[in-house]
Amino acid sequence: MTFRGASRQASIDVLRATAIVLMVVVHFVENLSGWFDGETGPFVGVHRVWWLPTGWAAPMFVFLSGVSYRIWLHVQTSRGRGREEISKITIRRGLFLIGLGFAFNVLIWLPEDVFNWDILTLIGGGLLALEVARRMPDAVIMLAAALVIAVAPAMREAAGYLDYWTAGFYDYDFTLADVALGWLVTGYFPVFPWLAFPLAGYCLAPRLGYGDDPRPDDRTTLTAAAALVVLAAGLVGGWELVPASLRGDTPLAWTMFPASTAYVLGTLGGIVLALAALHRLLDGQPDDGHFDDRRWPDNTAPRWPGLVSWATPLSRHALSIYLVHHAVHVWPLWVWSLATTGEATSLWQVAMPPWASLGLAAAFLLMAAVLCRWADRHRAVTAESLMRWLCD
Amino acid sequence: MIVSHPESLRSLGPDVPTGLPDTAFVRHLPLPGGAMLDVLVVAADTDDEVTATETMWRAWLTEAAGSVAVAGISAPVVVPLYGCLVAWMPGRAAVVGPAARLDQLESAVATFSTREADLRDAEQRTATLLDALETDAAEAFTIDESSATRREGLAARYREAVAVSRRLALLAPAVHAPQVHPPTLASQLGERLRERTRLAERHDLAVSQAELAERVTESCGQRAADAGIAARQTALEWAIVVLLVVQTALLMVDLLARRGTP
Amino acid sequence: MTGANRYKDIVSLQDAPHRSPRTGPPRIAIVGGGPGGLFTAWHLERLAAAPVEITIFEATGRLGGKVFTPTFTAAPVSYEAGAAEFYDYSPVDDDPLRAVVAEFGLPTVPLAGSAVYVAGRRIANLDDVADVLGPAARRELVGFDTSARGAMTPREFYLSGSDHATAPAHALERAPFAEMLAAIPSPAARRYVEMMIHSDLATESPRTSLGYGLQNYLMNDPAYMRLYRLAGGNEQLITALAQTIAAEVRLDVTITALGLGTTSGATSGATRQLALSWTSGGQSRHDEFDIVILALPIGPLAALAVHDPSLAAALRRHVAHHDHPAHYLRISMLLDRPVPQAPGHDDFLMVDAFGGACLYIETATHPTATHGVVGWLVAGAAAAELATRSDDDLAAAASAALPGPLAACRPHVLETRVHRWAGAVSGLPGGWAPLSVDRRHRPSPAHPNLFVVGDYLFDSTLNGVLDSAEHVAGWVAAELACFDIDRPYTSRGCAAGDTR
């Protein structure tokens, strides 16, 4: 579908809302009820299957940040905004997200005395990288993404990744070297290989039907995405066959921390296929006979408008939800822990059974959806509006 | 051009105007590009008989004027010759003269009409090319990624400009043919029809216009090729930059790893 | 026309200054105010590197010679009494006359005509030839045409008469044109060709060379040459020339004698001036000039008295070599209504009347014409014979001879004018070898400051006289390039040490 004006793409909103749901569920369940590594609990033997879909939220967010940036760039260019102005806004937004990420880490994880590079700093850094990358031909951007994925295992080996993760979480010394390594390789969402997602999102957006010169259903893209999924599945299935020297620091083929090659390729391919399918299913065409009375701003009507009408507010306020959902479940955990045990982190991952944390997650999501719609109607101040106000 | 007169072609098309001799008929001749030429043929042995038919053929000719829009030819081109008369408009012609001369006159009219139709088609195609010229001219100077979508159109217009130029080049010997001497009736008629319809001048103008269109679209093509080469060079340079950055990052990680403490 | 000074700088005879010929700008006399004299003055003024003093002597009261566009009395309608058409050589190469016309900004009108009336029947193309004369005649004419074009290419046609003419062209001068015509078996076809070209030849085919006859046949082929006239009258060219030149023009002055001038005060080696004599107001006048250019037809040239024996002999030889008189007679008829357009819109018809004459339809295409003009051009022996008749006889004969479509004009003739041009052109007979171009124009090398200009030195056309004038003007200008205003004129060319 040709992008027109500033109308939102239902497919992107639904996928991002899906990521939000996954993120909230994973964080609530993981932080309040713990991670099951397969030995005990009702998820024994199936933990990889249970957690398989949960590892998709972050890649979705980061990939979609690249797609959204491409669309935003096209809109700004169409409106006649100058190159210099676009650059300034991009850099400001990138720095805003990085700064917000630092502030978020300090405010949310302070009791853990943790200063981490996380997904916000990754997305902010991705924006800064895209500010440079958008000057390159798409083929070179894909090359960069491929290189980022390809060299990540070697970099982890060189940096001694596992040495920073002996406790099952990222543990580092607050030195310049460790901080830099954490940003590049060893942290939660390091540049290598996570930068590949926004780069790929930016590059593939037109081939998925978004942005300038849209070419939806581009066969090459879909074939390559399917190939990536197959390759990832092959790596997972045949990981035992890979020599130990090549397996390096990843005992399992599919891991999020570190982001293994199979994980990166598999999620990348899967997200592309999912987005292509959603685009075809949801994003309305003026001449396909599926018009609905409820018109979008660009006079095209998506299918399943009910689903979309709930997904869009969530998607629109993804940043705010990210910040708020952490505050909503982490800070009460600190307070409750401190109050009951005298130690802020003592109830970390053992505060309640999974069904309770799942219920809380659902309640939060429902409330978030309602609040987001309210915020839209009343134009409330949100992290997104603050970012636009400061940076645009 | 006309070797025989198949009876099946006679009297098709528009009816013979009333008032003309019974021997008068209309011949339907095909022209290039699917057009047709209706030729009203009237035998008249004396100048008075030729003059007497004027009202009928003039009305028959001018009723076709509205159906064929040809710039600069809104009235019949009338060529009185030696004991004959030929009146011509795009799509229709009247040939009046002694029976013994009618074949030559028809042949000359048909030959001329073929060439004129060819030229008119080339003129129309050239006019279409010129319509796009102003937009194309911007890309004749510089071309960038935003005009990538127009390249197919530019290429098509270049091919069309070359095709039109070729057509005009093939037409040139006939249009600019020197006068025949000693003349025949057919050659005299052909020369006068060419002169009265300004075929040579129109041809020269169409040639210069086609050349202009060809030059602009060729320039656009050259620019597009240059842009493609530049784009590939740029991509290569950026690829080198990316490789260098990644290499630098690798070196940095190695360096930092030796200094960092787990 | 006498009594009306139409040209500037015309000086009365009483006011003619007597100047010392020894120093000052070179003084040049041009005898003859026709196209030859005017072209010569015009070119010389443009080519001379330094000021020259030119005087044109004209025996009649008007300039222009054979280019004459007078007006009828019965109505203010002009007609061509002399040259009716100009020749356009631009299909082949540069045409100097066309360039002059363009330089003056004179509008031109193309002329064309295909029809020849033989025994009252019109022949306008090969189809008519086959119908009227027979298929065999058509074949013979096509063959004759092919031979003619093979004998003289357009380039050779263009160069004929000049020093650049090719050897085959020179060979064509030796045989009479009648020999080539005799190769046409059919008498009717032969007569057709003769009628077609007779008025251009101005003479009969046995009396002209093969080359000249071919030229006058091939001039009908547009690949060789085209015809045109000046819109508003051909005399406009004369008027434009006269208004442009700075030369002093003396009308109604007949030069009676040519001689050598005095050399008082001359240093050795100085060229003796030439003296011209004329009678004015009952008194003899004379003046001396550094250079004299005789731009006269053969007749007046032959009648000029020359005092110096060697000079006289040279001029006699010159006249004898070039005296092949051919004749024209113009009969112009004013009609009280526009002339009906000829079939094919011909501007002229060839008619077998008067031994083969051309009939010009001068006003057929004029959009606002209220009158019509037709003009006969009779040539050769017929012109000479008819010139002896009275104007009324000629008017009746001309009216009776009007062919087919113009016969209806007979009752509408308002006025007829006759102009006799006896000996006005040269017939260029077969076997006559032209001299080199230089030799033609300087009849006496011993008198290097005497030149001759004339159409008879080329092809008896306006183009020819322009070539002649251009040649002489360039020659004189080159000689004058070494002229020192403070020294006596010499025509020996630039001497060593001359700074100019």
For C423-443, the DSSP string reads EEEE---TTPPPPPHHHHH-S
A167 in B contact zone (CB under 8 Å): no
Q: Inter-chain contact A147–B252, Cβ cutoff 8 Å?
A: no
Q: Which residue of B has its CA nearest to A164?
A: B262
From the list B231, B252, B260, the residue facing A137 with the nearest CB is: B231
Q: Inter-chain contact A147–B243, Cβ cutoff 8 Å?
A: yes
Structural domain contains residue B45:
yes
Q: Inter-chain contact C145–B182, Cβ cutoff 8 Å?
A: yes
C341 in B contact zone (CB under 8 Å): yes
Regarding the domain delimited by C86-228+325-426, which CATH topology (the fold level of the hierarchy) does it fall under? Polyamine Oxidase; Chain A, domain 2 (3.90.660)
At C4 the pLDDT is 38
Q: Inter-chain contact A173–B260, Cβ cutoff 8 Å?
A: yes
At B109 the pLDDT is 95
What is the ipTM metric for this complex? 0.82
Q: Inter-chain contact B182–C124, Cβ cutoff 8 Å?
A: no
Q: Which residue of A has its CA nearest to B257?
A: A159
Asked whether the bond before B182 is cis by omega within 30 degrees of 0, the reply is: yes
A213 in B contact zone (CB under 8 Å): yes
Q: How far apart are CA C423 and CA B252, in angstroms?
A: 112
Write out pLDDT tens, residues C215-244.
Answer: 889 988 999 999 999 998 999 999 999 999
Per-residue pLDDT of chain B (262 residues; tens, 9 = 90+): 333 333 334 444 457 877 788 888 899 888 877 888 899 999 988 888 888 888 888 888 877 655 555 555 678 899 988 889 999 998 889 999 999 999 999 999 999 999 999 999 999 999 999 988 887 777 677 666 666 667 788 888 899 999 999 999 999 999 998 889 899 999 999 999 999 999 999 999 999 999 999 998 888 888 888 888 888 898 999 999 999 999 999 999 999 888 755 5
Claim: this prediction has a pTM higher than 0.90: no
- Taking CB atoms and an 8 Å cutoff, what residues of chain B touch C115? 82
Asked whether the bond before C110 is cis by omega within 30 degrees of 0, the reply is: no
From the list B101, B179, B182, the residue facing C126 with the nearest CB is: B182
Portion of chain A with pLDDT greater than 70, in percent = 84
Instruction: Give the CATH architecture of domain C13-66+235-323+433-480.
Output: 3-Layer(bba) Sandwich (3.50)
Task: Tell me how close the Cα of C127 comes to any Cα of chain B, in angstroms.
Answer: 6
Listed range (A115-119, C139-143, C324-328, C403-407) with the worst mean pLDDT: A115-119
* pLDDT greater than 70 at residue C5: no
Residue A286: how many CB atoms within 10 A of its CB? 14
CA-wise closest residue to C262 among C283, C290, C284: C290
Structural domain contains residue B89:
yes
Q: How far apart are CA A362 and CA B210, in angstroms?
A: 71
Q: In Å, how far are B17, C84, C176, C465 from C470, measured between CA atoms?
A: 62, 22, 30, 8
CB pairs under 8 A between A and B: 69
- Section A325-352 average pLDDT: 86
Partner residues linked to C228 by β-bridges: C86, C110
- Taking CB atoms and an 8 Å cutoff, what residues of chain B touch C364? none
From the list C129, C142, C343, the residue facing B80 with the nearest CB is: C343
Q: Which residue of A has its CA nearest to B245?
A: A144
B209 in C contact zone (CB under 8 Å): no
- For an interface test with B, the pick among A170, A175, A176, A181 (most B C-beta atoms closer than 10 Å) comes out as A181
Domain around B32: 7-225
Tell me whether the CATH fold assigned to C13-66+235-323+433-480 matches the one assigned to C86-228+325-426.
no
Question: Touch between chain A and chain C (3+ CB pairs, < 8 Å)?
Answer: no
A191 in B contact zone (CB under 8 Å): yes
Q: Which residue of B has its CA nearest to C142?
A: B182
From the list A136, A144, A178, the residue facing B260 with the nearest CB is: A178
Write out pLDDT tens, residues C400-453.
Answer: 999 987 888 899 999 999 999 988 877 665 556 677 888 889 999 888 899 999
Q: Where do we find the tokens 């074939």?
A: A223
Please name the residues between 129 and 148 in chain B that touch chain A, using a CB distance below 8 Å. Answer: 148
- Taking CB atoms and an 8 Å cutoff, what residues of chain C touch B104? 127
Name the CA dihedral angle for A382, A387, A389, A390, rounded to a multiple of 10 degrees.
140
B22 in A contact zone (CB under 8 Å): no
At B153 the pLDDT is 84
Neighbours of chain A (3+ CB pairs under 8 A): B
Write out pLDDT tens, residues A261-288.
Answer: 989 999 999 999 999 999 888 886 544 4
Asked whether the bond before A193 is cis by omega within 30 degrees of 0, the reply is: yes
Structural domain contains residue B250:
no
B231 in A contact zone (CB under 8 Å): yes
Q: Inter-chain contact B235–A137, Cβ cutoff 8 Å?
A: yes
From the list B239, B257, B259, the residue facing A140 with the nearest CB is: B239
Q: Which residue of B has its CA nearest to C226?
A: B179
Write out pLDDT tens, residues C250-263.
Answer: 999 999 999 988 75
B107 in C contact zone (CB under 8 Å): no
Q: Inter-chain contact B183–C126, Cβ cutoff 8 Å?
A: yes
Write out pLDDT tens, residues B32-44.
Answer: 778 888 999 999 8
B251 in A contact zone (CB under 8 Å): no
At C56 the pLDDT is 97
Q: In Å, how far are C114, C137, C146, C150, C171 from C143, measured between CA atoms?
A: 19, 10, 5, 10, 21
Q: How far apart are CA C304 and CA C320, in angstroms?
A: 14
Question: Touch between chain C and chain B (3+ CB pairs, < 8 Å)?
Answer: yes
Q: Inter-chain contact B250–A177, Cβ cutoff 8 Å?
A: no
Q: How far apart are CA C439 and CA C459, in angstroms?
A: 16
Strand-by-strand arrangement of the C305-306 sheet: C283-289, C274-280, C255-260, C305-306
CA-wise closest residue to C250 among C477, C14, C83: C14
Domain spans of chain C, in order of start? 13-66+235-323+433-480, 86-228+325-426
Q: Which residue of C has its CA nearest to B183?
A: C125
At B155 the pLDDT is 87
Structural domain contains residue B12:
yes
B6 in C contact zone (CB under 8 Å): no
Structural domain contains residue B230:
no
* pLDDT greater than 70 at residue A232: yes
Amino acid, res. A201: G
C114 in B contact zone (CB under 8 Å): yes
Which is more confident, C245 or C356?
A: C245
* pLDDT greater than 60 at residue C267: no
Q: Tell me the three state secondary structure of residue A317.
A: coil
Q: Inter-chain contact B181–C142, Cβ cutoff 8 Å?
A: no
How many domains does chain B fold into? Answer: 1
From the list B149, B239, B261, the residue facing A178 with the nearest CB is: B261
B252 in A contact zone (CB under 8 Å): yes
At C159 the pLDDT is 84
Backbone phi, psi, residue C102, to 5°? -65, -35
B48 in C contact zone (CB under 8 Å): no
Structural domain contains residue B219:
yes
Write out pLDDT tens, residues A88-104.
Answer: 999 999 999 999 988 88
Task: Tell me how close the Cα of A163 comes to any Cα of chain B, in angstroms.
Answer: 6
For C474, residues 6+ apart whose C-beta sits below 8 A from its C-beta are: C43, C47
Q: How confident is the model at residue C105 (pLDDT cuts 50, 70, 90)?
A: very high
Portion of chain C with pLDDT greater than 90, in percent = 54
Report yes or no: A255 and A188 within 8 Å, Cβ to Cβ: no
Q: Inter-chain contact A158–B260, Cβ cutoff 8 Å?
A: no
B69 in A contact zone (CB under 8 Å): no
Count, in order, helices (H) and strands (E) of chain B.
7, 5
Listed range (C201-210, C218-227, C279-288) with the worst mean pLDDT: C201-210
* pLDDT greater than 70 at residue A199: yes
Q: Inter-chain contact B82–C220, Cβ cutoff 8 Å?
A: no
Structural domain contains residue B121:
yes
From the list A140, A144, A185, the residue facing B253 with the nearest CB is: A185
CA-wise closest residue to A189 among A92, A124, A275, A108: A124
At A58 the pLDDT is 93
Q: Inter-chain contact A178–B239, Cβ cutoff 8 Å?
A: no
Task: Tell me how close the Cα of A152 comes to any Cα of chain B, in angstroms.
Answer: 9
| Residue C249 exposure: Cα atoms within 13 Å on the Cβ side | 27
Report yes or no: A119 and A61 within 8 Å, Cβ to Cβ: yes
Q: Which residue of B has its CA nearest to A149?
A: B246
Report yes or no: C226 and C85 within 8 Å, Cβ to Cβ: no
Structural domain contains residue B242:
no
CA-wise closest residue to C80 among C377, C350, C342: C377
